Structure 1
């Protein structure tokens, strides 16, 4: 780096601590990523061997310190903002919920403070629908903030695929309601612990395959008549009959599950345009399912969570935006240094 290049000081440690995955970013004063960490140390793994709230909190603190120690040592006192299942009732510390309808800007006013050695961690609350059909989300709210921060317009429906997929209804920056589908978790259980797991010889790929499309078509044609559980079993006789390859089972099952989720969600809450915010591993499959349902899909970049955490940190006063320097090449003659 040139001596006169602007220094990129670290301004925030941002954590997205999900059920199965831990993600962390070291951000500079513009919200740009300086470094990142991703591991399988999700909240479920961290908490599974603890038998009390105190032991659980200690386990989360130790995992955080271990995974982020180089950043914390190099930047003592750096603020830390955390979202996800670390703020659940079986996480680091319960961070509560905002009840919908709710403005996403209100998340910054309800942070839960947790001491962690020489650091202080601020945990973002989740969102809760306390109506006749209650629902909760924790972690996806920061993805929503990030999606809206980078969007050219304001979508009315955002789909967030994951272990527990979320279908979120928006009015500007206001969350008016949402629905959860356990699609990702069901897929994991079926492909690990069911009879279907014995048939499958491969995992789903990042792109929608012909076997996935076959699952979509089967669910669309027979889902109402036969039901999802009956259709899932069809993978077995299809393999036995030589009409479905063992390497195609995972994609076929994924097609049935995602097809059922998307078709029923659109039936309950029709949408012409949907913003899709998820990892590359599921993006193409959800896009295909949505487009087959007659929906126009707008893809939101994968790192919506880190953008959302940065936005919340700014709103909460945990970080301040560093002005970007104007390159010397665009300065006027009067502005050029002598």
Structure 2
């Protein structure tokens, strides 16, 4: 086998265990995906009914064996690296946070080991989250490995990475490190408006997979009136435009999405230096943010969500859990 040929033996089980979803990958000795699993067994469902830390740990261990037991049986001894809410205070074990600003290579030096009794005997390590301290603190957990993976592709480094979602993250970069980040609750507010607000009574149908004319209209309204009136006032226009026959009920959801994303992007760009922006999100959210950013003159690089597997591989290599390129001596620190 040539030196640069991929090694197909399994080397790492990589997990992104979020609040509402579980994603896992079996990676070979070159960090390439051999197999994958997706499930709705997020941390909330997994920990439901578990009142103590010991009960939660046992529940996570059972879910882990059910979802990944086949991989563990076929590849005994393969290390397991897990990011996401499994490392929170209501997860498998508490993995703590690293303060920013700081370099991302610090993630590998502060892994937390899950006791073998709670992991079916497997060697499981949890990745810490990132934290902004100060008067207005902020946190992320799980997005840090997406961020690291997004920076691994060798292209021109962006000045920021935007991670859309229920709680979107705007991450400012400084070379190989994180200068700071902010969380924006755009996705959650959008869901609440569509489900429980007066606008929900008007809306008909579901948003399409690509940005519609109604979404662009929302972007334009925010661009023209957002600074003067603010997004809370503009949201009410979704009602008055329908009342006056100038917006169809089937367009309400996309129009509201445009207002919210437009406002988020308008404010987010104020703290960024000039330069390209990477967007790492789902197939439905990335095109919306890309369009909003490009209409404000930014070059955008789209990064798939599954780049988390690449980020987990990078952490595993840096920690010496796998023999990747330039793998260092294994790191033995288990607590942040």
Give the structure-1-normalised TM-score: 0.88
* 8 Å contact from structure 2 (residues 83, 127) kept in 1: yes
Q: Is the 8 A contact 2:158 2:275 kept in 1?
A: no
1:132 corresponding residue in structure 2: 135
User: Once the two structures are superposed, what CA deviation does each residue of 1:93-134 show, in whole Å capped at 9, x if it has no partner?
Assistant: 111111112111110110011131121221100111113332
| Structure whose CA Rg is larger | 1
**In 2, Cα distance between equivalents of 1:14 and 1:152:** 24
- Flag as ranges the 4+ runs of structure 1 deviating above 6 A: none
TM-score, length of structure 2 as denominator length: 0.89
Superposed displacement of residue 225, structure 1 = 2.7
Task: Check the 8 A contact 1:77/1:118 in 2, yes or no.
Answer: no
Instruction: State the secondary structure of the residue aligned to 1:55.
Output: helix
Deviations 1:172-228 (A, max 9, x none): 111111111111122222223333333333322231111111111122222233322
Q: Distance in 2 between matches of 1:67 and 1:199?
A: 41
Which residues in structure 2 correspond to 1:326-337 (within 5 Å)? Answer: none
Deviates more, 1:116-125 or 1:41-50: 41-50
Q: 1:297 aligns with which of 268, 276, 300?
A: 300
CA distance in 1, matches of 2:303, 2:81: 22
Give secondary structure in 1 for the equivalent of 2:281.
coil
Q: Does the C-alpha gap of structure 1 residues 45 and 292 become closer, same or farther in structure 2, counting only changes over 3 Å?
A: same
Asked if 1:277 is matched to 2:280, the reply is yes
Q: Tell me the equivalent position of 2:84.
A: 84
Q: Partners in 2 of 1:233 and 1:169 — Cα distance?
A: 32
Partner of 2:103: 103
Q: Note if 1:151 corresponds to 2:145.
A: no
Name the counterpart of 1:336.
none
Residue equivalent to 1:11: 11
Which stretch shifts more, 16-25 or 299-308? 299-308
Question: What is the root-mean-square deviation in Å for CA atoms of aligned residues?
Answer: 2.1
Partner SS state of residue 16, structure 2? strand
User: In 2, distance between residues paired with 1:137 and 1:153?
Assistant: 24
8 Å Cα contact 1:29/1:322 also seen in 2? no
Report the CA distance between 1:56 and its aligned residue: 2.2
Distance 1:271 1:322, change over 3 A: closer
Contact 2:167–2:185, Cα closer than 8 Å, also in 1: yes
2: distance between equivalents of 1:158 and 1:7? 31
C-alpha deviation, 1:151, in angstroms: 3.0
- Which structure 2 residue ranges, 5 or more long, are not aligned? 327-336
Any conservation in 2 of the 1:272–1:294 contact (CA below 8 Å)?
no
| Mapped pair 1:261 → 2:264 | yes
**Which runs of no fewer than 5 residues in structure 1 stay unpaired?**
324-338
Q: 1:132 to 1:269 in 2, by over 3 A?
A: farther
Q: CA deviation at 1:6?
A: 8.1
Q: Is the deviation greater in 302-311 or in 105-114?
A: 302-311
Helix, strand or coil: the match of 2:152?
helix
In the superposition, relative to structure 1, how do residues 149 and 272 fare at CA in structure 2: closer, same or farther (>3 Å)?
Answer: closer
**How many residues of Structure 1 are paired with residues of Structure 2 in the alignment?**
319
Q: Give the corresponding residue for 1:328.
A: none
